[in-house]
Structure 1
Amino acid sequence: MSQPGDMAAFVRIVESGGLAPAARDLGVTPSAMSKQLARLEARLGVRLLTRTTRRIALTPEGETYLARARDILAMVEAAEQDVTAGRGQPGGLLRVNTGTAFARHRLIPLLPDFFARYPGITLDLGVTDRQVDLVGDQLDVLLRTGPLGDSALLARRLAAGRRMVCAAPAYLDRRGRPTAPEDLLAHDCLVLRGQARLTAWPFRGAAGLQTLTVRGVATTDSAEALRDMALAGLGIIRVSGFIVARDIAEGRLVPLLEAEHVSEEVPVWAVTAPGRHRLPRVQAFVEFLAARAAAW
């Protein structure tokens, strides 16, 4: 097998979790797959995988080779699709991950229009508020809100919003409405677990900018669950405006301390890995979102 073929076989072994499932995917025997891997390791002069009867694990050299192999194979795929792009629209499987609130309130409502425009693209959508590994999880696009850490990944800013402090009328009837930022210290303020920066709520008062560290009866790892808790009357939340805009417009939630609240900008990002950003299906998806983001 050619060197690119060996590389692709190695990546398939890792992604499928073993020689046998990789062999089924590629239509060869497990022994043939094992020989390909052995030839690749012999040519490189290093061990890429450790294998037992139950599992495989990457060696440090294997982790390095896997990351580079994925980049190279993505660039090969992008080059081939560039050459054949004139034959039709982008196609193939698009792997996207985003947070729960963004998926529900922004992304999913746009999908019918996206599929109508690009019928050749299929979508594998992962939805979680936990941190994910764009490269390790084989994703094409990661959609996230808020600040991004430094990395070698490529990030395109799609839009920006603001945070809002709000609560349900039932909660305010029971506990009273805060009239000054300091009142929040006596209220149940619900926050995202593990997001320390989101427990510090900034306000502007007579003494200037102040930051209050709030607490409440519950935390969660989901922004959408945070909204549901507020709707249930459990406490006060501070979230991106797009999550609660409709609830506020229809009276299910009430904005609080609007004059005093300091709402930092909340950017929305489309993050891709080098190499994969040139795939036509990835470009089509990101450009589609960028065009729609103007109305957010």
Structure 2
Amino acid sequence: METFSSIECFVRSAEVGSFAEAARRLSLTPAAVGKSVAKLEARLGVRLFQRSTRSLTLTEAGHLFLGEVSASLLTIQNAVANLASAEGRPAGTLKVSMGTVFGRLYIVPLLGEFLRRFPAINPDWHFDNRQVDLIAQGFDAAIGGGFELPQGVVARKLTPAHRVLVASVDYLAEREAIVEPDDLKHHDGILIRSPQTGRVRSWQLTSRARQHSPLTLKARMTMSDSEAACATAVQGLGIALVSMPFAVGYLEAGTLQRVLPEWYVDDGNISIYYAEHKLLPGKTRAFVDFIIEQFAERGLGRRFSAV
């Protein structure tokens, strides 16, 4: 068991490049983590890390050893977690990352039913619009769109990630008619600034007939959130390009209308992400299957499609 603990300290330190950060995630002291790794090095007879006051880097032997043990460590941990489940049912803390507004609108309302089915699971949900490192940051799953898929992580599609043009009835009544994409250049745009890069992306519109056209809206203002852009468009201040999950409530209520309803932006998919390994923890499997089931039963894929 002592060797297993030392290997866990080594793997976590290698993932984050710091004994201090590894100690924080393992609920140990940095000195305890460093001592544990040193014992492992002594037992193996090789140096696994090059240490300095500012950095912790793997040696060649450390790289080789990490490749050999990291997947096996995860499998063992998941096996222990599954055996420790309450009376064979999924149990434990479920750490999930999701977009702030999307999570509040569409995932939080599912929590009651999820806990009725799996009362031994304790949700630890983090609301953030940035991509997280599932493995290094210890997340069981994440929900979002437009994420890069790192090695060791798989994605299950929940719904298309379509963006649509919306405006208020008053705005459209007072401005020139919009018949084709090129007409947009005469209109005020409420554009979305990426919270990650701070940039306003150049979008390409796609028609249901699979034609393409650049988005030529004038940037009257920028927002970093689709929900805020919708609330701004309701005031008649311009045309917003927003994600369907945020626009659909306004469209169904009639406070916003689609502009050029035959056109939309295809931004990939909204998916649920989790680490790929043979023995998925029961709590993670239960959550992934539940979310996919609920999105299908509630027709959210169809509701969020702009086509």
Bin of the TM-score, shorter chain as denominator length: 0.7 to 0.9
CA shift for structure 1 position 36: 1.6
Distance 2:67 2:167 in 1: 45
Matched, 1:125 2:128: no
CA shift for structure 1 position 129: 2.5
2:282 corresponding residue in structure 1: 280
Would you say the 8 A contact 1:179–1:257 is kept in 2?
Answer: yes
1:244 corresponding residue in structure 2: 247
Distance 1:88 1:265 in 2: 40
Q: Secondary structure at the match of 1:278?
A: coil
2:303 corresponding residue in structure 1: none
Aligned with 1:217 (options 212, 216, 220): 220
Q: How does 1:29-178 map to 2 (within 5 A)?
A: 32-42=32-42, 43=44, 45-48=46-49, 50=51, 52=53, 57-61=55-59, 71-84=71-84, 87-146=87-146, 149=149, 151-160=151-160, 162-173=162-173, 175-178=175-178
CA shift for structure 1 position 284: 0.5
CA RMSD of the aligned region, Å? 3.7
Question: Structure 1 242/277 Cα, relative in aligned 2: closer, same or farther at 3 Å?
Answer: farther
CA shift for structure 1 position 290: 1.0
Question: Structure 1 30/102 Cα, relative in aligned 2: closer, same or farther at 3 Å?
Answer: closer
Would you say the 8 A contact 2:206–2:213 is kept in 1?
Answer: yes
CA shift for structure 1 position 245: 1.3
Distance 1:162 1:20 in 2: 39
Q: Secondary structure at the match of 1:126?
A: strand
Aligned with 2:229 (options 213, 226, 229): 226
Distance 1:89 1:175 in 2: 59
Q: Secondary structure at the match of 2:51?
A: strand
Question: Structure 1 33/96 Cα, relative in aligned 2: closer, same or farther at 3 Å?
Answer: closer
Question: Structure 1 71/225 Cα, relative in aligned 2: closer, same or farther at 3 Å?
Answer: farther
CA shift for structure 1 position 247: 1.0
Distance 1:67 1:142 in 2: 24
Distance 2:25 2:257 in 1: 57
Q: Which runs of 5+ in 2 are unaligned?
A: 301-307
Counting matched residue pairs gives 288
CA shift for structure 1 position 47: 4.2
Question: Structure 1 267/40 Cα, relative in aligned 2: closer, same or farther at 3 Å?
Answer: same
CA shift for structure 1 position 149: 4.8
CA deviations 1:8-61 (Å, max 9, x no partner) are 2345667796289659934xx765544222122343623436354xxx643144
2:270 corresponding residue in structure 1: 268
1:253 corresponding residue in structure 2: 256
Q: Secondary structure at the match of 1:18?
A: helix
Distance 1:245 1:22 in 2: 41
Distance 1:224 1:35 in 2: 49
Distance 1:224 1:78 in 2: 38
Distance 1:251 1:188 in 2: 21
CA deviations 1:94-149 (Å, max 9, x no partner) are 11112234212211111121122222212222222233322222211121235755
Q: What's the TM-score, normalizing by structure 2?
A: 0.76
Distance 2:149 2:30 in 1: 41
Question: Structure 1 45/177 Cα, relative in aligned 2: closer, same or farther at 3 Å?
Answer: farther
Q: Secondary structure at the match of 1:59?
A: strand
Matched, 1:202 2:240: no
Distance 2:173 2:123 in 1: 44
Would you say the 8 A contact 2:90–2:286 is kept in 1?
Answer: yes
Q: What's the TM-score, normalizing by structure 1?
A: 0.78
Instruction: State the identity %.
Output: 28
Distance 2:34 2:158 in 1: 44
User: Residue 201 of structure 1 aligns to which amino acid in structure 2?
Assistant: L
CA deviations 1:59-94 (Å, max 9, x no partner) are 144688678765433311221244455824211111
Distance 1:168 1:82 in 2: 52
